[in-house]
Amino acid sequence: MDIQSIKNRFGIIGNSPALNYALQVAVQVASTDLTVLINGESGVGKEVFSSIIHALSSRKHNPFIAVNCGAIPEGTIDSELFGHEKGSFTGAAEARKGYFETVNSGTIFLDEIGELPLGTQARLLRVLETGEYIRVGSSKVQKTDVRVIAATNKDLLQLVETGRFREDLYYRLSTVPIRVPALHDRPEDIHLLFRKFAADFANKYKTAPVHLDEEAKQLLINYPWAGNVRELKNIAEQISVLAPDKLITAKELKKYLQPYSSNRMPVLAGHKSVPGPEFTNEREILYKLFFDMKKDVTELKKMFVEILQNPSLAAQHPGFMNELQETENYRLKNGNGTENNNLSPMRVQTQLPAGQPVIMNNEIHDHVEVEESLNIMDKEKELIIKALKKHKSKRKDAAMDLGISERTLYRKLKEYDIEE
């Protein structure tokens, strides 16, 4: 079957080389039983590619199911995929078949595969390598013959490096990788897609289709489309329903497009939007904040020591000296600080040695208290020790609880000289 026939059958619009190549790979791999990993941004149509592979395979008359791994709670995903026995956990009133059992001899599409917990990743790896799995709460090994197609909008190799995705599972899944291009990588297809969506919505709402003038076309093509085809379809529907005129100008089109900048990711208040790594969960953001705080405090302490050694430098850092003055004024106003420690749980008081005068606003003080953030290495060591105690020195369980790989945990044990 040629590429154009595939496009007509599955409603795919576009002629970009990247799209055609991805479709060609999907057609070639469909007749095999190889595991496929589909990569692409959110909204590019990764599920359509899984449907193409299944429809052109020898399993096309057998079951096909799409599972969004990110939408299933961590505590129930093992049961959803592999089933469970009666009484295996609270609420398990009866035995239940999992997807790998109900879709036997068919195809299962695991979307957002990067969201799988590490324990579930180990179970999935066993299915891919041996075709075996065990229901939750059972000890009986069962067999399944299921073809797995996975998809992700994340960089799985980066997740491997941070210990949130198994390296062996990554290489097992990506036997045949397919990269679905983002909409901004296929600008020649944007207006074609818009026309198709506009015609579909005109037919749906019994109205004349909208059209874009030349300036509006250029605006449409140059827009970044962070939501890809899904976002373009939503915009086409809004315009079809709400636009007062059927000929859309650039000025009218701007009303439906979201303002954007070079970086549309949210940033912390007071921080400039600069390129940087993508943070995938709250733990990474907190770690980044802790490291930045530690770095800032180290620089402040270094500057403070330099000023102690050479008071003439104080004039070069008026902002820093004002901060010290405010700190000292707060301490004098509120006593020695011991009664107000509860105002900041992250606050640690450090008093300089006696005999080290500090000059602030032409006044000499015998000492000053500075604020220092908690040492993140100490907190990390404390968390590791707690996790080991909680899981009775079982490294695998402790690593899973901490959200790191067992190899990383072993390295941390050596680094911090922790006895198990």
Residue 322, pLDDT > 70, answer no
Quote the pLDDT of residue 135.
Answer: 93
Q: Give the start-to-end residue ranges of the domains of the chain.
A: 3-181, 184-254, 282-372, 376-415
pLDDT class for 324, splitting at 50, 70, 90? Answer: low
Burial class (CB in 10 A: 0-12, 13-18, 19+), 251: exposed
Which has the higher per-residue pLDDT, 194 or 332? 194
Closest-CA residue to 374 (of 293, 282, 303, 285): 293
Which are the contacts of 240, defined by CB distance < 8 A and separation ≥ 6? 198, 201, 202, 205, 207, 209, 210
184-254 belongs to CATH 1.10.8.60: yes
Q: 143 phi and psi, to 5 degrees?
A: -105, 150
DSSP string, 85-146: -TTSSTT--S-B--HHHHTTTSEEEEESGGGS-HHHHHHHHHHHHHSEEE-BT---EEE---
DSSP string, 196-227: HHHHHHHHHTTSPPPEE-HHHHHHHHHS--TT
11 in Cβ contact with 146 (< 8 Å): no
Residue 378, pLDDT > 50, answer yes
Query: What is the share, in percent, of the chain residues with pLDDT greater than 70?
Result: 72
| CA geometry: angle 348, 353, 356, nearest 5 deg | 120
**What is the side-by-side strand order in the sheet with 36-39?**
64-68, 107-111, 147-152, 36-39, 176-179
What pLDDT digit, counting tens, does each position of 60-72 carry? 999 999 999 999 9
Q: What average pLDDT does this structure show over 15-22? A: 95
Spell out the alpha helix ranges (H) of 375-419: 376-390, 395-402, 406-415
What gap in Å lies between CA 201 and CA 212, rounded to an integer?
15
Which are the contacts of 172, defined by CB distance < 8 A and separation ≥ 6? 35, 125, 128, 129
Q: What average pLDDT does this structure show over 239-255? A: 94
Architecture of domain 376-415: Orthogonal Bundle (1.10)
Residue 84, pLDDT > 70, answer yes
Average of per-residue pLDDT values in the chain: 81
What gap in Å lies between CA 221 and CA 243, rounded to an integer?
19
What gap in Å lies between CA 416 and CA 420, rounded to an integer?
12
What gap in Å lies between CA 218 and CA 124, rounded to an integer?
46
65 in Cβ contact with 97 (< 8 Å): no
Closest-CA residue to 110 (of 151, 81, 146): 151
What CATH class does 3-181 carry? alpha beta
Residue 269, pLDDT > 90, answer no
Q: Has this prediction a pTM greater than 0.75?
A: no
Closest-CA residue to 406 (of 119, 116, 133, 73): 119
224 to 7, 184, 218, 227, 251: CA distances (angstroms): 24, 6, 12, 9, 17
Kindly report which listed range (33-42, 231-240, 319-328, 347-356) carries the lowest average pLDDT score.
Answer: 347-356
What gap in Å lies between CA 94 and CA 186, rounded to an integer?
50
What pLDDT digit, counting tens, does each position of 151-192 carry? 999 999 999 999 999 999 999 999 999 999 999 999 999 999
Q: What average pLDDT does this structure show over 55-80? A: 94
What pLDDT digit, counting tens, does each position of 105-162 carry? 999 999 999 999 999 999 999 999 999 999 999 999 999 999 999 999 999 999 999 9
**Cβ neighbours of 245 (radius 10 Å):** 9
